[in-house]
């Protein structure tokens, strides 16, 4: 994987990331728009990690750290590039970031119906915690 480049996203990458998620990520949420991702990168410039191969965006992960917990979102690999270690390379970069920041445990948002993702997360050492459910409330209008 010598030609795989892992780097953090900048403001100029945001439109490409949003277009990429439409192809590579399962579903979207209320904050998956230009404004939401721009706020993420402005607030935490190291959180959005990209994988590129030959100048093409092939993977993403958001490695958010709130000073207490480490959260992973939007681990996505382009369908044409899956099963080539890209997801693992992105998670390694996220884990390294978390350790540098003093994080002690990572947690991930994983869709229940995405069986393929379950295998990838388990291979990375993650396991579901069945005693927890995600509760959400939209804010604003």
Domain containing 90 equals 4-123
- Any domain includes 16: yes
CA–CA dist 120, 114 (Å, integer): 10
| CB within 8 Å of 118: residues ≥ 6 apart | 110, 128
Question: How would residue 130 be classed by pLDDT, with cut points 50, 70 and 90?
Answer: confident
pTM summary value: 0.91
- Any domain includes 136: no
pLDDT at 1 over 60: no
Number of domains in the chain: 1
pLDDT tens sequence across 8-29 = 999 999 999 999 999 898 766 7
CATH number at 89 reads: 3.40.630.30
- Any domain includes 128: no
pLDDT tens sequence across 39-92 = 999 999 999 999 999 999 999 999 999 999 999 999 999 999 998 999 999 999
């Amino acid at each position: 994987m010598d030609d795989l480049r892992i780097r953090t996203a900048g403001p100029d990458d945001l439109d490409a990331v949003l277009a990429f998620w439409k192809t590579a990520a399962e579903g979207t949420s209320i904050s998956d728009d230009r404004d939401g991702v721009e706020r993420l990168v402005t607030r935490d410039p190291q959180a959005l990690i990209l994988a590129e191969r030959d100048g093409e965006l092939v993977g993403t992960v958001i490695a958010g750290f709130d000073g207490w917990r480490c959260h992973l979102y939007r681990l996505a690999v382009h369908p044409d590039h899956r099963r080539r270690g890209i997801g693992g390379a992105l998670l390694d970069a996220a884990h390294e970031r978390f350790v540098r920041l003093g994080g002690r445990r990572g947690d991930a948002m994983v869709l229940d119906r995405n069986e393929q993702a379950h295998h990838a997360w388990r291979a990375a050492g993650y396991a579901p915690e069945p005693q927890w459910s995600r509760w959400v409330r939209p804010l604003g209008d």
